């Protein structure tokens, strides 16, 4: 019963295109609508909360509120399945090696004008040290978004989130960060120019370099099983 209620709530959020921050009906109204006990309704809301689709605020003005769909929540859920199946970080990183060049190629082929304009800030110029890691994360997220396929984007970004959780510090040393930003700039220019082959090749080389760096700095990681975050 609780799963049926949860499915109906999700359908309603999607059908009515309720934006993040929208407050769902209060408990009393939902109990009346679904004609179920309080326990079944609360379990349904808890299911959605655990998956990061809603948040429940306490207090008289609280209640269930629609959350932003975030790749981190999807990655967290996926990591539970990865751990149960014994999936290693080698397999996760290999998946990124395959997906990232494909998404770069798609981004160049589609060349969305609005998103293409956002690529201009990844020009490879020097950045303050504190901006390096968030900028690197933003770059790959934007490429995933520009792939034009929401499933590829969701999977690509969520895998990066799982890795970022495990490798919380910047992977490349300070001595190589200017070079990495320069590579990002080259990939961005290839995408902006609509050169799909070049964008794919540069991203593949970049991901190969990323994997080599992981093996160098975290030699035991590749054999580790991905743990639930």
What confidence score (pLDDT) does residue 125 get? 60
Distance, CA of 99 to CA of 163 (rounded, Å): 14
Average pLDDT over residues 100-126: 85
How many other CB atoms are there within 10 angstroms of residue 164's CB atom? 17
Q: State whether 142 and 184 are in the same domain.
A: yes
Distance, CA of 6 to CA of 9 (rounded, Å): 5
**Residue at 228 is within a domain:** no
**Residue at 146 is within a domain:** yes
Q: State whether 28 and 140 are in the same domain.
A: no
Q: State whether 219 and 117 are in the same domain.
A: yes
Q: State whether 101 and 166 are in the same domain.
A: yes
**Residue at 48 is within a domain:** yes
Distance, CA of 62 to CA of 134 (rounded, Å): 33
Q: State whether 27 and 120 are in the same domain.
A: no
Q: State whether 110 and 212 are in the same domain.
A: yes
Q: State whether 60 and 103 are in the same domain.
A: no
Please provide the distance, in angstroms rounded to a whole number, between the alpha carbons at the two ends of the chain. Answer: 28
Q: State whether 148 and 173 are in the same domain.
A: yes
Distance, CA of 56 to CA of 66 (rounded, Å): 9
Domain final residue pick, 11, 44, 66: 66
Q: How confident is the model at residue 82 (pLDDT cuts 50, 70, 90)?
A: very high
Q: In percent, how much of the chain has pLDDT > 70?
A: 96
Q: How confident is the model at residue 126 (pLDDT cuts 50, 70, 90)?
A: low
Residue 47 has pLDDT above 80, yes or no: yes
Q: State whether 37 and 140 are in the same domain.
A: no
Instruction: Report the domain count for the chain.
Output: 2
Paired tokens of 226: 């991905």
Q: State whether 182 and 137 are in the same domain.
A: yes
Phi, psi of 35 (to 5 degrees): 55, 50
The enclosing domain of 43 has a CATH number of 1.10.10.10
Condensed to tens digits (0 to 9), the pLDDT of residues 138-182 reads 999 999 999 999 999 999 999 999 998 888 667 888 888 888 889
What confidence score (pLDDT) does residue 130 get? 62
Q: State whether 86 and 19 are in the same domain.
A: no
Domain final residue pick, 66, 95, 117: 66
**Residue at 229 is within a domain:** no
The enclosing domain of 202 has a CATH number of 1.20.120.530
Tell me if residue 53 falls in helix, strand or coil: coil
Q: What is the domain range of residue 19?
A: 2-66
Paired tokens of 151: 């499933």
DSSP alpha helix (H) spans, the chain:
2-15, 27-34, 38-50, 71-85, 89-110, 113-118, 132-146, 150-166, 174-192, 196-217
Condensed to tens digits (0 to 9), the pLDDT of residues 14-27 reads 999 999 999 999 89
Q: State whether 61 and 80 are in the same domain.
A: no
């Amino acid at each position: 019963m609780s799963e049926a209620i949860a499915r109906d709530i999700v359908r309603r959020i999607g059908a009515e295109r309720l934006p993040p921050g929208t407050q769902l009906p209060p408990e009393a109204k939902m109990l009346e609508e679904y004609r179920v006990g309080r326990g079944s309704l609360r379990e349904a809301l808890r299911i959605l909360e655990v998956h990061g689709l809603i948040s429940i605020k306490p207090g008289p003005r609280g209640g269930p509120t629609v959350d932003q769909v975030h790749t981190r929540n999807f990655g967290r859920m996926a990591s539970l399945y990865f751990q149960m199946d014994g999936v290693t970080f080698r397999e996760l990183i290999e998946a990124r090696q395959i997906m990232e060049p494909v998404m770069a190629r798609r981004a160049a082929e589609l060349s969305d004008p609005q998103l293409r304009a956002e690529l201009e800030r990844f020009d490879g110029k020097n950045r303050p040290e504190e901006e390096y890691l968030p900028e690197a994360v933003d770059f790959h997220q934007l490429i995933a978004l520009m792939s034009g396929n929401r499933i590829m984007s969701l999977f690509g970004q969520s895998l990066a989130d799982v890795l970022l959780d495990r490798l919380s510090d910047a992977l490349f040393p300070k001595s190589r960060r200017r070079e990495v930003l320069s590579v990002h700039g080259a990939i961005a220019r290839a995408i902006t120019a609509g050169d799909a082959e070049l964008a794919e090749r540069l991203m593949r080389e970049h991901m190969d370099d990323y994997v080599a760096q992981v093996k160098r700095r975290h030699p035991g990681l590749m054999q580790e099983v991905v743990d639930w975050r």
